[in-house]
C-alpha cells in the first residue's frame, strides 16, 4: 500500500512526545487452534494448485469471459456439531476445506460452480475436489472479476459511445473519453438470462468527487453472452427523454431536437465538494487535540494473535474473517459458559428510489461487491481508540493471497458513565463501566460501513452498524423531488433504506433453546384487600408464551414485548429459565414495505425486523455473493428457511436487522455522519443467574454516610491505585 504526498501540518514530533505516553501492548494468551480462521497462505496455495491443474485455470489478471478462472477462494466453514466436539471435549480439530467459486468460461454452456477442496491439513496427495449441491450460477451473472472482462466492457463502452462523442462533449462539457468520465452502473434484469446494465456518466473519475459529478446522461447496455460482437446499446436517456438506440438519439440531436439544458458541476465546484478543510476560521479552542482515554495500568485484554482469540475480564472468543461478509465472532463465552456459537454480519442492503433509470435500479446487496474484501485499513487514532491493537486480514486475489494491514482493531473504552450507581441516605456506591470493541470498516463503494461487536462486563453483547461516506446521487430531473433532496446545484440524494442483517446462533446453557415472548397486557383487577365499592385497578399483567414454530417478527412500536432465548430444561435457584433477551439498542428498521419491485426473493430477510429458525447445516448463511444479481432465482432464498419447523427446545438461530431509512439532506454533503446513522441490537442476560454480573468488578467505590449530618463517614475505593488525585467527594 502506498501513501503519496502525505503532509502533517503544524505538528512537531517533539510536541507529540511531550504529552503522549507510550501505548501499552496487550497481554498474550495461548488458546486452542481456531477452527474458524481464514485459510493460511499455505492452505490458499495448496487449494489453488489442485484446482489450477484440474480446471486449466487462467489468472484473474489474464482472464477474459471465455476463460476458466477463480471468482472466490476462502475457508469453507466447519460443521457446527463436529466443531463443538473439538471445542467442548478436546475432540479432533475439524478438517480444513476451501470453498472455491470457479467461472467456467471455456464450457459450451458456461456457468459458475461451487466446489470444496480438502482436507488441506493432511497429506497433499489426499486433497480432493468436490462439487457442492449449490446450483450453477448463470454466466451472465458473473461479477466481472476477471481483468480482461473488465477491460472489454470499458473498451466496448468507449467505442459504442464514440459515434456520439461530439454530442456528449457539447451537452456535458468535456470530450468523450474514459479519462474525463467515469460511470456508475446498475444491473437492469432480474435473472441470469441477460446481462443488462444501466450506467450514468460522471464527470470526475479521479477521486471521491465522482459521487457528486453525475451528468443525467444514462445508457442501457446489453452485455449478454461472451462475445464482444454480441453486445449493444439499447437505450439512451437524457433530459427526461428516452431514445431506443444511438441512431435515434443522434438523429434528434442533428435535427435540433435535443437542447443543452442540464447544468453541470464545474471542476472547481467538484474539487471544493470533497475537501474536508474549507478555508474558514478555526473554531474556538479547536486548535487543541480532542480528549482521549488511556489504560493507565496497561491493557486489560489478552490476545493470541496467531489464532485470533481474545479474552477480556470474564469473556473469551475467537474471531475470523471471510471475503464475503467480513469479521465474525465464534465460541463466545462468558464466565466459561458459551453464549454464542456464531455472531456474524450476513448482508448489507441499500435499496434506492429514483426516477432516473440508473438509481431506480439501485437495489444493492453489498455482499456481492465484497464486504469482507473491501475492509479498508483503519487510520490509527481516528477510526479506533488511540491505544487499539490492529490486526490484518487475508484475501485471495486470483493467483495468491494478499494481506491487508490494520483492517481490524480491538480496544477497551470507558462508557463515561458508571455501569451501576446509587446514592442513598446511609451509603453510596458506583462501578466504573467499560466495553471491549472489535471494529472493522468496509467500503464496498460510496458508503463506509463501521461494524462493531461490543462486550460489556455484565454479560451484555451489542452488535451495531453505522454508515458514513458519500451519498449515491443522481442528476436533478423533473419530478425528482418526490424521490430525494437536492444536495447541490446539479444533483440530488435519493431516499433509500440501509438494512443490515446479522446472524445470532446463541446457545444458552446448551444447544436446546426456546424463543419465549413476554408481553405486557392490561387487565382490570380487583384485589382482596379492596372494599366492595372501590374501583378496581387497570393493571399491567405479564403474559408469556413459547414461539413454537419458525417465524418472522417485528418489534412492537411501544417496545412492550420481550423476546427471550431461554433454556426450558434449566432453572436458576429462584426457579426461572435462564435466558438472553434480544432487543434493539438504537433505532432499527426493515425495508420499506411494498418497494420490492427490484428485490424479489433475493432479500426476503430484509422485510421484517427479526426471524427465528431451527439450526440447519444447509442454512449456514442468509445470502450469497450472487443474490444481488439474481433477484428472481437467488442461490440463497431466505424464505425457504421459514418452513414451519417446530422450535421448542431445539438449536435455534436468530436473524436480526439493523439500519436506517435515509432521507438525504444538505448536511449529508460532503459525507454522511456516523453519529446519526448508528443502529444496533443488544443481547442481555435475563434471569441468566440470580443477580446481575457486575458486582464483582473491583474498579468501584463504596462509601457510608451519616444520615443526620450527610457527612461521609468512610470510603472504600477498590483497585484504584492511580485516580489522578481526584477525591470522589471533594467540594
pLDDT-derived band of residue 25, with 50, 70 and 90 as boundaries? confident
**How are the residues of the chain apportioned to helix, strand and coil, as percentages rounded to the nearest 5?**
15, 35, 50
Q: CA 343, CA 461: separation in Å to the nearest integer?
A: 10
Residue of 447, 449, 453, 615 with catalytic role: 447
pLDDT in tens, 407-417: 999 999 999 89
Q: Residue 563 pairs with which residues in a beta bridge?
A: 517, 582
- Determine the average pLDDT of the residues in 605-614: 98
CA nearest to 365, candidates 329, 324, 396: 324
For residue 2, what is its C-alpha cell? 502506498
More confident residue, 344 or 716: 344
pLDDT in tens, 250-308: 999 999 999 887 777 666 666 666 666 667 788 999 989 899 888 888 999 999 999 99
Residue with cell 456535458: 172
pLDDT-derived band of residue 22, with 50, 70 and 90 as boundaries? low
- Is it the case that residue 3 has pLDDT exceeding 50? no
Query: Which pLDDT belongs to residue 730?
Result: 82
Residue 607 backbone class (left: φ over 0; alpha: ψ -120 to 50; beta: rest): alpha
- E-state strands within 167-297: 182-187, 196-202, 214-222, 232-238, 241-243
Among 19-33, 286-300, 570-584, 687-701, top mean pLDDT goes to 570-584
Q: How far does Cα 662 stand from its chain's mean position?
A: 16
pLDDT-derived band of residue 720, with 50, 70 and 90 as boundaries? low
Residue of 366, 452, 458, 505 with catalytic role: 366
| Phi, then psi, of 14 in degrees rounded to 5 | -65, -35
pLDDT in tens, 626-670: 999 999 999 999 999 999 999 999 999 999 999 999 999 988 888
CA nearest to 159, candidates 141, 177, 138: 177
- Determine the average pLDDT of the residues in 553-567: 96
- Is it the case that residue 13 has pLDDT exceeding 90? no
pLDDT in tens, 419-443: 999 999 999 999 999 999 999 999 9
- Determine the average pLDDT of the residues in 499-511: 99
For residue 81, what is its C-alpha cell? 456439531
pLDDT-derived band of residue 721, with 50, 70 and 90 as boundaries? low
pLDDT in tens, 527-544: 999 999 999 999 999 999
More confident residue, 16 or 475: 475
Among 145-154, 172-181, 199-208, 405-414, top mean pLDDT goes to 405-414
Whether 453 is a known active-site residue: answer: no
Query: Which pLDDT belongs to residue 478?
Result: 81
Residue 671 near residue 692, CB atoms below 8 Å: no
Query: Which pLDDT belongs to residue 182?
Result: 86
Q: How far does Cα 526 stand from its chain's mean position?
A: 51
Query: Which pLDDT belongs to residue 327?
Result: 99
Whether 447 is a known active-site residue: answer: yes
pLDDT-derived band of residue 624, with 50, 70 and 90 as boundaries? very high
CA nearest to 263, candidates 223, 217, 229: 217
Q: How far is CA 487 from CA 90, 216, 255, 719, in A?
A: 59, 15, 34, 53
Average pLDDT score, the chain? 91
Query: Which pLDDT belongs to residue 20?
Result: 65
- E-state strands within 66-106: 68-76, 97-104
- E-state strands within 387-446: 389-396, 401-414, 420-423, 427-431, 434-442
pLDDT in tens, 86-108: 999 889 999 999 999 999 999 99
What DSSP character marks residue 286?
T
Residue 649 near residue 514, CB atoms below 8 Å: yes
- Is it the case that residue 723 has pLDDT exceeding 80? no
Q: CA 41, CA 402: separation in Å to the nearest integer?
A: 9
Half-sphere exposure of 224 (CA within 13 A, CB side): 12
- What structural domains and CATH numbers belong to the chain? 34-134 (3.10.450.40), 147-273 (3.10.450.40), 306-521+541-686 (2.70.98.20)
Q: CA 491, CA 197: separation in Å to the nearest integer?
A: 21
Q: How far is CA 442 from CA 78, 371, 372, in A?
A: 25, 6, 7
Q: CA 178, CA 157: separation in Å to the nearest integer?
A: 9
Residue 504 near residue 653, CB atoms below 8 Å: yes
- Determine the average pLDDT of the residues in 580-587: 96
Residues of the chain with pLDDT > 90, as a percent, come to 76
- Determine the average pLDDT of the residues in 174-199: 91
- Is it the case that residue 12 has pLDDT exceeding 50? no
For residue 347, what is its C-alpha cell? 448482508
Quick check: helix, strand or coil at residue 305?
Answer: coil
pLDDT-derived band of residue 198, with 50, 70 and 90 as boundaries? very high
Residue 678 near residue 466, CB atoms below 8 Å: yes
Length of the chain: 731
Least confident range from 6-15, 58-67, 358-367: namely 6-15
- Determine the average pLDDT of the residues in 692-703: 91
CA nearest to 110, candidates 232, 197, 225: 225
Query: Which pLDDT belongs to residue 705?
Result: 94
pLDDT in tens, 371-395: 999 999 999 999 999 999 999 999 9
pLDDT-derived band of residue 671, with 50, 70 and 90 as boundaries? confident
Residue with cell 469471459: 65
Q: CA 114, CA 51: separation in Å to the nearest integer?
A: 12
Instruction: Kindly tell me the sign of the dihedral angle through the C-alpha atoms of 583, 588, 589, 590.
Output: negative
Beta carbons within 10 angstroms of residue 727's beta carbon: 8
Q: How far is CA 308 from CA 28, 344, 410, 482, 572, in A?
A: 11, 15, 11, 48, 33
More confident residue, 3 or 171: 171
Which residues, other chains included, contact 354 with Cβ-Cβ below 8 Å and sequence gap of 6+?
Answer: 360, 362, 474, 480, 483, 484, 494
Which residues, other chains included, contact 575 with Cβ-Cβ below 8 Å and sequence gap of 6+?
Answer: none
Amino acid at each position: 500500500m502506498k501513501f503519496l504526498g502525505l503532509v502533517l501540518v503544524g505538528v512537531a514530533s517533539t510536541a507529540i512526545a511531550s504529552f503522549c505516553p507510550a501505548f501499552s501492548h496487550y497481554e498474550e494468551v495461548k488458546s486452542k487452534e481456531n477452527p474458524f480462521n481464514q485459510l493460511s497462505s499455505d492452505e490458499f496455495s495448496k487449494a489453488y494448485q489442485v484446482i489450477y491443474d484440474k480446471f486449466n485455470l487462467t489468472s484473474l489478471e489474464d482472464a477474459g469471459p471465455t476463460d476458466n478462472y477463480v471468482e472466490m477462494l476462502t475457508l469453507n466453514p466447519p460443521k457446527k456439531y463436529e466443531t463443538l466436539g473439538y471445542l467442548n471435549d478436546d475432540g479432533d480439530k475439524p478438517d480444513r476445506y476451501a470453498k472455491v467459486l470457479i467461472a467456467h468460461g471455456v464450457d459450451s454452456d458456461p456457468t459458475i460452480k461451487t466446489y470444496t477442496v480438502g482436507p488441506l491439513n493432511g497429506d497433499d496427495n489426499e486433497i480432493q475436489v468436490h462439487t457442492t449441491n449449490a446450483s450453477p450460477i448463470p454466466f451472465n451473472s458473473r461479477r466481472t472479476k476477471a481483468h480482461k472482462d473488465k477491460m472489454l466492457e470499458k473498451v466496448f463502452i468507449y467505442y459504442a459511445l464514440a459515434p456520439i462523442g461530439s454530442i456528449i462533449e457539447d451537452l456535458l462539457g468535456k470530450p468523450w473519453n474514459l479519462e474525463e468520465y467515469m460511470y456508475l452502473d446498475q444491473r437492469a434484469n432480474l435473472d441470469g438470462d441477460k446481462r443488462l446494465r444501466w450506467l450514468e456518466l460522471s464527470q470526475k473519475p479521479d477521486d471521491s468527487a465522482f459521487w457528486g459529478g453525475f451528468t443525467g446522461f444514462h445508457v442501457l447496455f446489453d452485455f449478454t453472452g461472451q462475445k464482444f460482437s454480441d453486445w449493444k446499446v439499447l437505450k439512451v436517456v437524457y433530459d427526461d427523454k428516452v431514445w431506443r438506440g444511438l441512431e435515434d438519439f443522434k438523429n434528434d440531436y442533428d435535427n435540433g431536437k435535443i437542447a443543452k439544458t442540464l447544468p453541470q458541476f464545474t471542476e472547481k465546484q467538484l474539487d471544493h465538494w470533497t475537501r474536508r478543510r474549507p478555508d474558514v476560521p478555526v473554531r474556538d479552542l479547536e486548535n487543541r487535540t480532542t480528549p482521549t482515554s488511556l489504560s493507565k495500568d496497561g491493557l486489560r485484554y489478552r490476545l493470541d494473535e496467531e489464532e485470533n482469540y481474545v479474552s477480556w475480564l470474564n469473556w473469551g472468543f475467537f474471531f475470523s474473517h471471510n471475503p464475503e461478509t467480513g469479521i465474525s465472532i465464534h465460541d463466545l463465552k462468558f464466565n466459561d459458559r458459551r453464549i454464542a456459537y456464531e455472531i456474524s454480519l450476513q448482508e448489507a442492503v441499500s435499496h434506492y428510489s429514483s426516477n432516473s433509470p440508473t438509481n431506480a435500479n439501485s437495489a444493492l446487496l453489498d455482499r456481492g461487491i465484497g464486504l469482507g474484501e473491501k475492509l479498508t485499513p483503519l487510520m490509527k487514532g481516528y477510526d479506533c481508540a488511540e491505544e487499539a491493537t490492529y490486526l490484518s486480514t487475508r484475501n485471495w486475489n486470483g493467483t495468491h493471497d494478499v494481506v491487508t494491514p490494520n483492517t481490524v482493531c480491538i480496544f477497551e473504552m470507558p462508557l463515561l458513565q458508571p455501569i451501576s450507581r446509587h446514592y442513598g441516605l446511609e451509603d453510596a456506591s458506583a462501578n466504573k463501566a467499560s466495553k471491549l470493541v472489535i471494529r472493522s470498516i468496509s467500503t464496498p463503494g460510496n458508503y463506509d460501513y463501521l461494524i462493531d461487536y461490543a462486550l460489556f462486563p455484565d454479560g451484555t453483547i451489542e452488535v451495531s452498524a453505522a454508515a458514513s461516506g458519500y451519498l449515491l446521487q443522481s442528476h436533478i430531473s423533473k419530478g425528482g423531488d418526490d424521490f430525494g433532496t437536492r444536495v447541490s446545484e446539479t444533483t440530488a440524494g435519493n431516499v433509500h433504506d440501509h438494512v443490515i442483517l446479522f446472524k445470532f446462533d446463541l446457545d444458552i446453557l446448551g444447544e436446546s433453546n426456546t424463543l419465549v415472548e413476554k408481553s405486557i397486557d392490561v387487565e382490570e383487577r380487583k384485589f382482596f384487600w379492596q372494599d366492595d365499592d372501590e374501583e378496581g385497578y387497570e393493571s399491567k399483567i405479564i403474559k408469556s408464551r413459547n414461539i413454537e414454530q419458525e417465524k418472522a417478527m417485528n418489534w412492537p412500536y411501544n417496545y412492550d414485548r420481550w423476546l427471550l432465548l431461554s433454556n426450558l430444561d434449566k432453572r436458576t435457584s429462584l426457579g426461572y429459565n435462564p435466558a438472553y433477551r434480544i432487543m434493539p439498542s438504537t433505532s432499527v428498521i426493515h425495508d420499506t414495505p411494498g418497494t420490492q419491485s427490484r428485490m424479489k426473493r433475493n432479500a426476503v430477510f430484509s422485510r421484517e425486523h427479526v426471524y427465528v429458525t431451527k439450526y440447519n447445516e444447509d442454512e449456514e448463511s442468509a445470502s450469497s455473493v450472487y443474490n444481488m444479481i439474481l433477484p428472481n432465482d437467488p442461490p440463497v432464498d431466505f424464505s425457504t428457511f421459514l418452513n414451519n419447523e417446530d422450535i421448542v427446545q431445539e438449536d435455534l438461530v436468530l436473524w436480526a436487522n439493523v439500519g436506517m431509512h435515509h432521507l438525504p439532506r444538505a448536511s449529508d454533503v460532503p459525507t454522511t455522519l456516523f453519529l446519526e446513522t448508528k443502529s444496533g441490537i443488544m443481547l442481555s442476560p435475563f434471569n441468566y443467574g440470580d443477580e446481575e454480573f457486575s458486582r464483582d468488578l473491583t474498579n468501584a467505590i463504596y462509601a457510608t454516610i451519616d444520615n443526620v449530618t450527610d457527612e461521609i463517614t468512610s470510603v472504600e475505593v477498590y483497585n484504584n491505585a492511580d485516580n489522578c488525585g481526584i477525591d470522589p467527594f471533594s467540594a
